[in-house]
Amino acid sequence: MAEPLSNPNLGIEDPFAGVDFSELEHSLRRPRTFMDFVLNGLVTLMTLSALVPLFSVVLMLLWRGGKRLGLALFTQLPPAPLETGGGFGNAIVGTVLMVLLAVLLSVPVGLMTAIYLAQAKQSKVAEVVRFAAKVLTGFPSILAGVFAYGAIVLTTGGFSALAGAVALSVLMLPTIVLTSEDALRMVPSRMKEASVGMGATSTQTVWMVLLPTAMPGILTGVMLAVARAAGETAPLIFTALFSNYWMWSHGEVQVLQPTASLAVLIYNFAGMPFKNQVELAWAAALVLVLFVLIANLIGQSLSNKQVQQG
């Protein structure tokens, strides 16, 4: 029951006198609150510790890769064991060329497939295509290499930039299909209606309305696919192999010869017992990560553009 107030001058009964207000106070001595506190701390710690590798990788790249950063890296060829100096100009050229070739192979196919999917929506074929694309996203990258080895290397009789590009394009295709379809579907249907209502053929609607409006989103997908492909190593090891020489001889670009790439150079040099090669591997990793990050950033900024527009 309510006790009389401690202040005798007032003489009114306090309606809350029976309530223990300390019950309402925040206290870590209560097990429930304590558990909450511990779990808060644990989750925070785990999340932050997940970022430690990221910072460690970036710092190591800057520290060990930055040492060798210079013009020579881009103009010289990989050194032989025990040689000093050298660079990986041919690997940069090889990576850029194979990625470009892969873009040329996968973008037309991927974009047209996405256009079909965006138009067909629920047809059985569209469902199967979407499923195939999703299966392909989870496809181990090395199996793309195995496929290109079987389909190109064995039939043309040798390792080549073309085989590497085919392997990369298989990996790029699903990303391009799925992101482009999303971008095309995000075009408001009233814009499509407006175009159709003016008497545009469906092809005219696609080219004059859908593609221009969805372009930022499509380019985001392409840039993400490029970023992924540029860093891929497994599908290149036994398709493009490696080469210590420039890609051109007799004034022609040799697409059907073994071709160097940054990723394979890192793999090869990382395991070598020579300091020079290991340093070059770090420098190549720095260049590769910069390349990948720039591609990612371009993609991100483009996707923000589409959000603003929608």
Q: Footprint of another protein on residues 41-80 (CB under 8 A)?
A: 42-44, 46-47, 49-51, 53-54, 56-57, 60-61, 64
Nearest to another protein of 8, 157 (CB atom): 157
Nearest to another protein of 75, 204 (CB atom): 204
With binding defined as CB under 8 A, does residue 108 bind another protein? yes
With binding defined as CB under 8 A, does residue 256 bind another protein? no
The only residue of 175, 180, 220, 233 in contact with another protein, by rule CB under 8 A = 233
Q: Name the residue with tokens 């047809």.
A: 123
Report DSSP letters for 53-102, one per residue.
HHHHHHHHIIIIIHTT-SHHHHHSPPPPTT------HHHHHHHHHHHHHH
With binding defined as CB under 8 A, does residue 105 bind another protein? no
> In the complex, what is the shortest distance from the CB of residue 251 to another protein, in angstroms, rounded to a whole number?
29
> In the complex, what is the shortest distance from the CB of residue 252 to another protein, in angstroms, rounded to a whole number?
25
With binding defined as CB under 8 A, does residue 19 bind another protein? no
With binding defined as CB under 8 A, does residue 173 bind another protein? yes
Which amino acid type is present at position 231?
Answer: G
Report DSSP letters for 188-212, one per residue.
-HHHHHHHHHTT--HHHHIIIIIHH
> In the complex, what is the shortest distance from the CB of residue 217 to another protein, in angstroms, rounded to a whole number?
12
- CA dist., res. 200 & res. 194, Å (int): 9
Q: SS3 for 253?
A: strand
With binding defined as CB under 8 A, does residue 158 bind another protein? no
Instruction: Give the tokens for residue 91.
Output: 């690997």
The only residue of 119, 185, 255, 256 in contact with another protein, by rule CB under 8 A = 119
With binding defined as CB under 8 A, does residue 139 bind another protein? yes
With binding defined as CB under 8 A, does residue 88 bind another protein? no
With binding defined as CB under 8 A, does residue 28 bind another protein? no
Which listed range, 3-11, 12-20, 84-92, 285-293, lies at the site for another protein (CB under 8 A)? 285-293
With binding defined as CB under 8 A, does residue 94 bind another protein? no
Nearest to another protein of 72, 130 (CB atom): 130
Burial of 60-94, coded b for 16+ CB within 10 Å and e otherwise, reads: ebeebbeebeeeebeeebbbeeeeeebbbbbbbbb
- CA dist., res. 229 & res. 298, Å (int): 15
- CA dist., res. 285 & res. 291, Å (int): 10
With binding defined as CB under 8 A, does residue 246 bind another protein? no
Cα-Cα-Cα-Cα dihedral sign, residues 236, 242, 248, 252? negative
With binding defined as CB under 8 A, does residue 238 bind another protein? yes
Instruction: Give the tokens for residue 271.
Output: 């395991």
Q: Name the residue with tokens 């392997």.
A: 167
With binding defined as CB under 8 A, does residue 24 bind another protein? no
Residue 44: which residues within 8 A CB-CB, separation 6 or more?
A: none
With binding defined as CB under 8 A, does residue 124 bind another protein? no
With binding defined as CB under 8 A, does residue 127 bind another protein? no
> In the complex, what is the shortest distance from the CB of residue 10 to another protein, in angstroms, rounded to a whole number?
33
The only residue of 26, 29, 190, 275 in contact with another protein, by rule CB under 8 A = 190
